[in-house]
Structure 1
Amino acid sequence: MNTSLEHRTVLVIGRGSGIARAVALATRDAGAQVIAAGRNAEALAVAYAGEPGITTETVDITDDASIIGLGERLGRLDHIVSTASARARGRLPDLTRDAVRTSLDTKVIGPLMLAKHLGPRINEGGSFVLFSGVAAFKIAVGTLAVAITNGAADTLTRSLALELAPIRVNAISPGVIDTGAWDALGEKGKAEMFSDQSERNPARRIGTTEDIADAVLFAMTSTFLTGITLAVDGGEALT
C-alpha cells in the first residue's frame, strides 16, 4: 500500500494536542499539505508554530455558517479528518440534556454537516475519516452518552459511505489512548488506571496517539476501504 500523501491537501479538525496533533504531523510527514482547524484559532497557531507544511484555520463544526465559510476559504480538498468530540461521561442520574446534545452535535451532527457542506469539495480519490470509540462496543455503566454518541458515529460512517460514494468514508475507534484526556485523574490515578487497563487489555499496553495516526493514514490511503469502523483498541472490546 502506498502511504504517500504527496500533493494532497488534508483538513484535520480538532485541538492542537493529543490525537489531532499526531494525525496532523503524521499526515504532513506523509507528504500532505495540512490545514489544522478548530474553534480556538490562537491556540492552534501556537501549537503548530514552526511546523512546516501545516497551516491553521478556524471552524466550529456545530455551526453551519462556520463550516460553509471554511469551505469557501479552502476550496478543494483531498481528505478530511474530524477528531472533534465533547464527552458526556457519567451515570444516567448525572447526565444533562445539554451535555448529551453537545456530545451528539460535536461528534455526529457536526461531521454530518461537514459532509454536506465540504463533501462536494473533496477531490476524486479522496476520503473522509470520522472518529467513534470503544464505548460503542463495550457497554459499561458511566459511559451511556459516550456509547450512544459513538454508536451514532458508526452508523453515520456507513451511511455517508453510500451517500458520498465514490468518496470513501471510514471511522477510527480508539481504545484507551495516552493523551491529556486522562490527566484529570491525577498522576497516581492515571498510573493506576493505565496499569489496570494494561493488565486486562489483550495487547498488554496502553495505546499511543501514533497508533491512532497510523490508522488514520491507513484509512486515507487504502483505496478499497470504505464504510468501515477500524477498532484500534488493543482488543479492549473483547474484555
Structure 2
Amino acid sequence: MSASLKILAINGSERDGNTSDVLRHAAETAAERGVDFEIVDLRDIRMERCGPCGDCNDRPIACEVADGVPGVVQKMIDADGIVFAAPVHGFGTASLMQTFIERAGVGYLRFDRPLSNKVAGVISVARRYSAGEVWAQLTVNALLNRMIVVGSGFPATVHALHRGDALKDEEGLKNVSRLVERMIDMIELLDEHRRLTGRDDLLSSREANERVGLALNELQAAA
C-alpha cells in the first residue's frame, strides 16, 4: 500500500546544513517504508515577498506575482503528507519559511483549502533556544490549512549549532523518524477510510474561508 504514497518536505533553511541533514534522515525512514519523500529547498525557489498591493483580503483569485511559489503549492496539493521544516534564526522562524507561509497561505491556499485532511508533520532545528516556538508556529500554520497534524511523542525538534551537529542528536533524530513513521501510518489509515466510505474529504467552498464578512466571502457566495 505504501508504494504509491508521497510525502513532500518543505525546507525553510537558507543553507544546505543541519535542517537538510535532518530531512535526509527523514527520507531514509520513509524509504524503508517504500514511501516517496521529496524535499523542496526554498532557497532554490524564486520567491518574491508579499508586495504593497494590499488586496489579498478582497481578491477572489490567486496571487498574480509570477514566481516559483505556485509550483511548490501544486506539489503540496499532489502529496499525501507534508513536512514543514525550518531552523531557528533570530529566535524565530527562518525568513524563507515565513515568506513562503505568507505567500502560499494568503495567495493560494485560503480560497478552497486544498490541503484539508492531508497529513502534516513539523520539524524545527535550533542551537538550543526557541525550537518550541518555531515548532508551534509551523504547527498552527498546518492547522490553519485544515491539515491533520501528527505528533512524535516529544516534538521533533533537533539541536544543532555547527554543520553536522544535527546528526549527533540521537534523541532528536529518533523523534524525526517516529514522526515520519506515524505520518505514513495515518496516511494509510485515511486512505483505507476513504476507500471504505467513498467520502470526499475536501470541504465545500462555502466553508473553506474563515474571513466572514469580508468582500472575498461575499464574492464567493455570489459565484
Please give the TM-score of this superposition, normalised by the length of structure 2: 0.51
Go from structure 1 to structure 2 and tell me whether the alpha carbon gap of 1:208 and 1:62 turns closer, same or farther (over 3 Å shift): farther
Go from structure 1 to structure 2 and tell me whether the alpha carbon gap of 1:21 and 1:109 turns closer, same or farther (over 3 Å shift): same
Q: Which residue of 19, 24, 27 corresponds with 2:27?
A: 24
Unaligned ranges ≥5, structure 1: 41-57, 90-99, 136-142, 184-193, 195-204, 225-239
Provide the C-alpha distance between the structure 2 equivalents of 1:10 and 1:129, rounded to a whole number of angstroms: 10
- Map of 1:7 onto structure 2: 4
Give yes or no for the alignment of 1:130 onto 2:122. yes
- Map of 2:45 onto structure 1: 59
CA RMSD of aligned residues (A): 4.2
Alignment of 1:1-239 (within 5 A): 5-14=2-11, 15=16, 17-39=20-42, 58-59=44-45, 65-72=67-74, 76-85=78-87, 87-88=89-90, 103-111=93-101, 113-114=103-104, 117=108, 120-122=113-115, 125-132=117-124, 146-147=129-130, 150-158=132-140, 160-161=142-143, 163-165=144-146, 167-170=147-150, 172-176=155-159, 180-182=163-165, 206-207=170-171, 209-222=173-186
Check conservation: 2:87, 2:126, Cα contact below 8 A: no
Provide the C-alpha distance between the structure 2 equivalents of 1:153 and 1:18, rounded to a whole number of angstroms: 18
Unaligned ranges ≥5, structure 2: 51-66, 190-223
Provide the C-alpha distance between the structure 2 equivalents of 1:5 and 1:179, rounded to a whole number of angstroms: 35
Check conservation: 2:121, 2:149, Cα contact below 8 A: yes
Check conservation: 1:177, 1:209, Cα contact below 8 A: no
Residue 159 of structure 1 and its aligned partner are, at CA, apart by 5.6
Go from structure 1 to structure 2 and tell me whether the alpha carbon gap of 1:133 and 1:208 turns closer, same or farther (over 3 Å shift): closer
1:154 partner letter = A
Check conservation: 1:129, 1:220, Cα contact below 8 A: no
2:8 partner letter = L
SS in 2 for 1:12: strand
Go from structure 1 to structure 2 and tell me whether the alpha carbon gap of 1:60 and 1:84 turns closer, same or farther (over 3 Å shift): farther
Provide the C-alpha distance between the structure 1 equivalents of 2:141 and 2:89, rounded to a whole number of angstroms: 23
Provide the C-alpha distance between the structure 1 equivalents of 2:161 and 2:177, rounded to a whole number of angstroms: 13
Provide the C-alpha distance between the structure 2 equivalents of 1:169 and 1:87, rounded to a whole number of angstroms: 24
Provide the C-alpha distance between the structure 1 equivalents of 2:46 and 2:27, rounded to a whole number of angstroms: 18
Residue 19 of structure 1 and its aligned partner are, at CA, apart by 0.6
SS in 2 for 1:6: helix
Provide the C-alpha distance between the structure 1 equivalents of 2:150 and 2:47, rounded to a whole number of angstroms: 18
2:81 partner letter = H
Aligned length: 159
1:12 partner letter = A
Check conservation: 1:18, 1:179, Cα contact below 8 A: no
List per-residue Cα deviations over 1:84-116 (Å, max 9, x = no partner): 325337xxxxxxxxxx6xx44234453455556
Go from structure 1 to structure 2 and tell me whether the alpha carbon gap of 1:177 and 1:105 turns closer, same or farther (over 3 Å shift): closer
Please give the TM-score of this superposition, normalised by the length of structure 1: 0.48
